[in-house]
Amino acid sequence: MTTAPPATTSETLVEETARRVVAEHPPATTPLPELMGAWYDAGLTWVHFPLGLGGLDAPRSLQPLANRILREAGGPEPRTVNTIGYGIVAGTIRRYADTALAARLLRPLATGEEKWCQLFSEPGAGSDLAGLATRAVREGDGWRINGQKVWNSLAHLSRWAVLLARTDPDLPKHKGLTYFIVDMQTPGIEVRPLRQLTGRASFNEVFLDDVFIPDSQRFGEVGEGWIVANSTLGDERTSLGDRVAARGSGAIADALALWAAHPERHTPVLRERLVRLWVRAESQRLTGNRARVAATKGVIGPESAIIKLLNSELTQHVYEFCIELLGPEATLIDTYSLDAPDDESGPTAIQRKYLRSRATTLEGGTSEIMRNVIGERVLKLPQELRADKGIPWKDIPR
């Protein structure tokens, strides 16, 4: 007979603290900012962060334990409170902000009272992020910013943003970049929502016209923004790795439910397609588990790029299967409103999920970029020819 190993001191601390917080602040009756504020003050938002900054100096591997206790008590999955803030920005703040600034930023990020967005992509530099043209020019004790960003998720709801801008066009494109944070209420910032296929508008264009940012909002050294940005993108990949769906859940669950609801439409060909999709979903889930375990040990491996590629393409293929199974019914949709509450419910949710899935191979890094990453960093294939390597950014033809 085997016995479970004894809980570590850190594990006991996290579990007892989490249970105390949900007992003192019942999720069903506590306003969300108050609940998440108590969660932060107790050090449970990021258990591996320092004391006083939403953490307990505990192993990162214990975060799922804390989150599970919160969910089981009726609370939210924490990352849904502030998706980009939790998954992409918080780690960069911890590494690059001084303690006072980190304390100012992290608590309202954790409670969801101050949302965050990412101002990286540009019309002429989406997949080629280092080719961006937004300029930051030194002015007194700060920087004057001019340029345009695009595909900025949740920018219309955000109070803060992380921003990558070019500070030296005479250097090669990766060398002349600097990383800032910017208050989205600063004069000169205009946000224009972009309407999607589903009817919703969660992406945006952001125009920056003579926006002034104090130098105190610079992360990292001048000209080393590419290093800071890669830190942020690493956190994004780790966040993706953490979100491992349960077996048979997510998009494949929609396909299985639809299959069960329409036995009159079963054919051997569709049955084989569904089985193949289920096997792919299971393969993706197991790879996600590997990435999650590696991430809890502080290792950001190539699995994250593989998961991103697998998941985005699988999601599209699953909903293409669903649309074919629905037949003519797939052309129906119940709402096309900017105020549509979500893409997850309603009688034509499958149709809206299909439309939404068309973006999955573009957002967060296109499939082409992911294949390059896997080819060069995992398979060690020769690097793609880069004609602009070592050339000053201002001399690169555009």
Decide if 225 contacts 164 (C-beta within 8 A). Answer: yes
Q: In this structure, what are the phi and psi dihedrals at residue 299, rounded to the nearest 5 degrees?
A: -105, 120
For residue 169, the 8-state DSSP code is: T
How far, in Å, CA of 80 to CA of 260, rounded? 30
Task: Give the residue from 110, 115, 114 showing the smallest Cα distance to 46.
Answer: 110
Dump the DSSP string for 15-57: HHHHHHHHHHS-TTTS-HHHHHHHHHHTT-SSTTSPBTTTB-S
How far, in Å, CA of 193 to CA of 152, rounded? 9
Residue type at position 114 = E
CA 190 to chain centre: 23
- Is 236 in the active site? yes
How far, in Å, CA of 120 to CA of 132, rounded? 8
Stated as kind and residue range, the H or E segment containing 180 is: strand 177-183
306 Cβ contact partners less than 8 Å away, ≥ 6 residues apart: 287, 370, 374, 378
Q: Which of 15, 114, 122, 236 is catalytic?
A: 236
Stated as kind and residue range, the H or E segment containing 214 is: strand 203-214
Catalytically active residues are 236
